[in-house]
Amino acid sequence: EVQLLESGGGLVQPGGSLRLSCAASGFTFSSYAMTWVRQAPGKGLEWVSDITSSGGRTYYADAVKGRFTISRDNSKSTLFLQMNSLRDEDTAVYYCAKEDNSGNIKWFDPWGQGTLVTVSS
Amino acid sequence: SYELTQPLSMSVALGQTARITCGGNNIGSKSVHWYQQRPGQAPVLVIYRDSNRPSGIPERFSGSNSGNTATLTVSRAQAGDEADYYCQVWDSNSWVFGGGTKLTVL
């Protein structure tokens, strides 16, 4: 069974940093692209960042570009999101998800349970 | 940037059919995926590549995509289908989600 377990969330002051982790199991982690998606309280889903299976290419939403860094350790089946210069508007539940695919078409399945990041003074 | 438009909410009577739309410029040329999110839970994939159901998703869920509108159809609606539903596409090296539709089963 594929499992994704996020950790590292918590309360941080504006301007601070936080590093999220997503431990994967039940599949060959190094063969799949991975992604981070967030959801602010009472709001919809917002894509944050993507990383290819090898880690060679990364993509970011404009809202986090230059502040967040996605990375992965394929030897430990773990995905990371380094978040710097955090703002109030970064407050959200952060989900990691595996990118399943058919050819060059991808989708997110499954998702982890999420970790809450609260940015507040 | 590409935008996806969904109705904020809709309701369906128990046992009836709900059709949730997702509008986007020439969305028919893209692959659309749909996610269900029950209250307090993580999203779950219910339709991928316009009309494909993952294993474990009931046949009551179906999808279509043409022109400027993609549609998620929930047939014979059950109380457990009450949730938020999001459409998603990939455009210009970026993932785009619709704003979400809250489906209420009456």
State pLDDT tens for residues A39-73. 999 999 999 999 999 999 999 999 999 999 999 99
* Segments of chain A assigned E as strands: 3-7, 10-12, 18-25, 34-39, 45-51, 58-60, 68-73, 78-83, 92-102, 105-111, 115-119
Q: Give the pLDDT of residue B19.
A: 98
Residue A21 has pLDDT above 90, yes or no: yes
Which residue has 């003074």 as its token pair? A121
Q: What is the mean pLDDT of chain A?
A: 97
Q: B97–A112: do the CB atoms touch at under 8 Å?
A: no
Task: Give B31's contacts in chain A (Cβ within 8 Å).
Answer: 105, 107
**A104 pLDDT band (50/70/90 cuts)?**
confident
B57-76 tens-digit pLDDT? 999 999 999 999 999 999 99
The CA radius of gyration of chain B, in Å to the nearest whole number, is: 13
Distance from CA of A59 to the nearest CA of B (A): 7
Number of H helices, E strands in chain B: 0, 9
Distance from CA of A78 to the nearest CA of B (A): 19
3-state secondary structure of B36: strand
B34 touches chain A (CB under 8 A): no
Question: How distant is the alpha carbon of residue B7 from its chain centre?
Answer: 11
